[in-house]
Amino acid sequence: MQLVKISILFFYFLTTRSYGSIEFNKIKQSIYHCFDNSSDCQQIKVPIELNDEIDESILSIDKFFGQNYLLMTLKYNSTPNKCYSLYEIKNHIIQTKEKQILSDGSQLCDYKKTNDQLINRFLDGGKWYEKLYKEKEKYYQIILEDQCIGCDMVQRKIYNKNLNYLLVTNEHNLFDRKPIIKKIAVKQAYLYDDALEKSKTKMYLIEDDKVELLQYRDDFYQIRYLTRAQKLIVKWVHSSDLL
């Protein structure tokens, strides 16, 4: 009789996994979860289709758009990214269809929410990406994207009606990064229509003119220059012509 009790207890531990305040019971196909207030606990039904995936994942629950979502990330991950699969929870039941909440189709990774904004951070192809989104109805609309390699400076994409580029400083906090301003270091710095020698124009800037950096490619910077007549010029210049 004692042996039977021990066997049953051992079997329970094999089929019940605890994740902080989340406990998954594979046999009962349910998750027991307590919210921030430890007295606010609930039983959440797990569809059989997700049983194995949940069993192989680290679980958490977070709220988006006023709705609870189950977040799953693999226990054994060979990349530095911590990315999640999202499943909406309705009426204490986990929905079987994975949910996409980012407008550009990116996977939700090491994210941070602030008010109605969300920052998503991940490594891809040797580049670090940080994307800023703003809440819009039932999804997050992308506002800007920062990416860097090594990172003396950060390439920023700004999503307005048109896609705009800007090089910014490399502060750790995305919101602290500032546009990079450089001076012309030579007497005459000729401007180019593209990052190609054959695209040279007759236009030039002079020593100490200040320009804002937009992009870098093949030893050229794309720059923005405001003339005395308040006209904006966007061209390319040799990186060696800048201080």
Sheet of 41-45: strands edge to edge? 16-19, 22-25, 30-34, 41-45, 93-94, 85-90, 67-74, 57-64
- pLDDT value of position 7: 32
**pTM greater than 0.85:** no
Read off the pLDDT band of 26 (50, 70, 90): low
Does one domain contain both 2 and 90?
yes
Q: How many domains does the chain have?
A: 3
Domain boundary among 50, 79, 99: 99
> Which tokens sit at 140?
């997050």
Best-predicted range by mean pLDDT (22-36, 45-59, 160-174): 160-174
111/87 same-domain check: no
- Domain identity same for 236 and 147: no
- Look up the domain containing 38 and give its range: 1-99
Q: Is the pLDDT of residue 150 over 80?
A: no
**pLDDT above 60: residue 125:** yes
pLDDT of residue 28: 62
Q: Does residue 91 share a domain with residue 80?
A: yes
Residues 87 and 6 in one domain: yes
Please tell me whether residues 166 and 95 are part of one structural domain. no
Boundary (domain end) residue, out of 178, 206, 224: 178
User: Are residue 152 and residue 187 in the same domain, yes or no?
Assistant: no
How far from 210 is each of 81, 164, 175, 187, CA to CA, in Å?
39, 20, 24, 13
**Dist CA 197 CA 224 (whole Å):** 19
Q: How confident is the model at residue 183 (pLDDT cuts 50, 70, 90)?
A: very high
Do residues 118 and 91 both lie within one domain?
Answer: no
List pLDDT tens digits, range 60-107: 889 999 999 999 997 777 788 999 999 999 998 999 999 999 999 999
Asked if residue 12 has pLDDT above 50, the reply is no
Q: What is the CATH number of the domain that holds 211?
A: 2.30.30
Same domain, residue pair 2 and 95: yes
DSSP output for the chain = -HHHHHHHHHHHHHHEEEETTEEEETTTTEEEEE-SSTT-EEEEE--GGGHHHHHTEEEEEEEETTEEEEEEEESS-SSS---BEEEEEETTEE-SSPB--BTT-PPB-EEEEETTEEEEEEEETTEEEEEEEEEETTEEEEEEEEEESS-SSEEEEEESSSEEEEEE---SSGGG--B-EEEB-SSEEEEESSSSGGGEEEEEEETT-EEEEEEEETTEEEEEEE-TTS-EEEEEEEGGGB-
- Residue 117 near residue 133, CB atoms below 8 Å: yes
pLDDT at 42 > cutoff 90: no
What is the band of 46 on the pLDDT scale with cuts at 50, 70, 90? confident
| Listed range (11-25, 26-40, 93-107) with the worst mean pLDDT | 11-25
pLDDT at 8: 30
Question: Quick one: 16 and 105 in the same domain?
Answer: no
Q: Do both 66 and 153 map to the same domain?
A: no
109/49 same-domain check: no
- CA 22/CA 62 separation, integer angstroms: 12
pLDDT bracket for residue 206 (50, 70, 90): very high
Determine which of 18-27, 110-119, 167-176 has the lowest per-residue pLDDT on average. 18-27
Share of the chain above pLDDT 70, in %: 85
Mean pLDDT over each residue of the chain, to the nearest integer: 86
For residues 217-229, give the mean pLDDT: 96
The residue among 202, 243, 240, 209 whose CA lies nearest residue 224 is 209
- Give the end of a domain, one of 99, 128, 146: 99
Which position has the higher pLDDT, 22 or 224? 224
